[in-house]
Amino acid sequence: MAIICRGLRGATTCEANTREAILEATRELLALLIESNGIAPAEIASAIFTTTPDLTAEYPAVAARALGWTDTALLCSHEMNVPGGLPACIRVLIHWNTTRRADELRHVYLRGARKLRPDRTDAPTGFSSPPTDGTA
* Inside any domain, residue 116: yes
Domain count, the chain: 1
Mean pLDDT of the chain: 89
Distance CA 49, CA 38 (A): 20
Distance CA 51, CA 67 (A): 19
CATH code of the domain covering residue 84: 3.30.1330.40
Residue 10: which domain range? 4-120
Give me the active site residues, please: 9, 65, 76, 79, 91, 109, 117
* Inside any domain, residue 72: yes
Which of the four pLDDT bands, split at 50, 70 and 90, describes residue 131?
A: very low
* Inside any domain, residue 78: yes
* Inside any domain, residue 136: no
Q: What are phi and psi of 49, to 5 degrees?
A: -105, 140
Neighbours of 62 (CB within 10 A): 16
Distance CA 101, CA 7 (A): 11
Query: For the whole model, what pTM was predicted?
Result: 0.86
* Inside any domain, residue 134: no
Distance CA 23, CA 30 (A): 10
Cβ–Cβ under 8 Å, residues 11 and 92 = yes
Question: Which pLDDT belongs to residue 120?
Answer: 64
Q: Residue 12 is which amino acid? A: T
Distance CA 136, CA 129 (A): 10
Averaged pLDDT, 27-56:
97
Cβ–Cβ under 8 Å, residues 17 and 52 = no
* Inside any domain, residue 54: yes
Averaged pLDDT, 55-76:
96
Instruction: Enumerate residues 6+ apart whose C-beta is below 8 A from 99.
Output: 1, 2, 3, 4
* Inside any domain, residue 29: yes
Euclidean distance between the first and the last CA atom of the chain, given in angstroms as a whole number? 41
